[in-house]
Homo-oligomer: A and B are copies of this chain.
């Protein structure tokens, strides 16, 4: 299969995108072609620097980049020759089966929804972001594509998230929860109670309202919420984990030699915990619901994270994620 990589997207591009591309070419057997989309001279120089050369890699020139500072939709109109737009066009024309970007999330969402449009029956696309859960992976949908959601959008997130969990994570009968302020059915807002009724009436394996602790310690594959709440949850969880590690370090530094020796000895256990929560190994977040596979990586992605995002893109294509989403959306009562 053929994948388009926004080679200029992300805080550390094109260093990490070329690095991730090289690993993808060598490790992912199903990958026939990887388009590196971006400024040709810059990408060529980086390929030379990292001594990467493969017939499977093809540069597609795009002179501009949409940055985090650009307003996404305006940039889409203004920078028609940007790497994210050109990469998305490859998918639109059927020359690539999927698109991967660690650049501006807003730009990837805008390019995908405008150029690829939504899958049949889907009103709004939603980003599925993974949380490391004791039973596997809990995907939060929507993690920020659509901050002004309607109840029906969240029903679609539940359906699409469940298909994603089943097809890409191999989970049978995925469990879907609704983020709320308490476990009881009546908890939440008028909005969440409307979503609750829709999810309950669907054929999803809906376990009801869930709270923060369920993300980590309950058997839960998909949690639906509007894009504002999803984005805020993810960033708050990430910030808490980061603060905890920082504080442990601070308290160790402020302690006596015995504690410091102890911290050195026990460091391997910490690194394993860091690894469990490491988004690099999760491989990016799919924008579910657009007509084409779009995988969005963390802005500060490393080579490993870019590689894993390409890997997830391949999985989504191989397991025919989108046809299955359309099939399940069709089954919903109209």
Contact = CB atoms under 8 A, between A and B. Distances in A.
Given A212-B239, A216-B240, A147 B268 contact: no
Given A71-B186, A144-B181, A276-B247, A252 B236 contact: no
Contacts of A147: 181, 188-189
Find the residue from A144, A148, A215, A232 having the highest chain B CB count within 10 A: A232
A235 interface: yes
B263 A269 contact: yes
A240 to B, nearest CB: 4
B244 A244 contact: yes
Main secondary structure of the interface of A (DSSP, over half): helix
A262 interface: yes
Given A181-B144, A269-B248, A273-B251, A236 B263 contact: no
A242 B213 contact: yes
A322 to B, nearest CB: 26
Nearest to A238: B212
A179 to B, nearest CB: 6
Nearest to A225: B232
A265 interface: yes
19 contacts: A180-B232, A188-B228, A212-B237, A213-B239, A215-B236, A215-B239, A232-B232, A236-B240, A237-B240, A251-B273, A255-B269, A261-B262, A261-B265, A262-B263, A262-B264, A262-B265, A262-B266, A263-B265, A265-B266
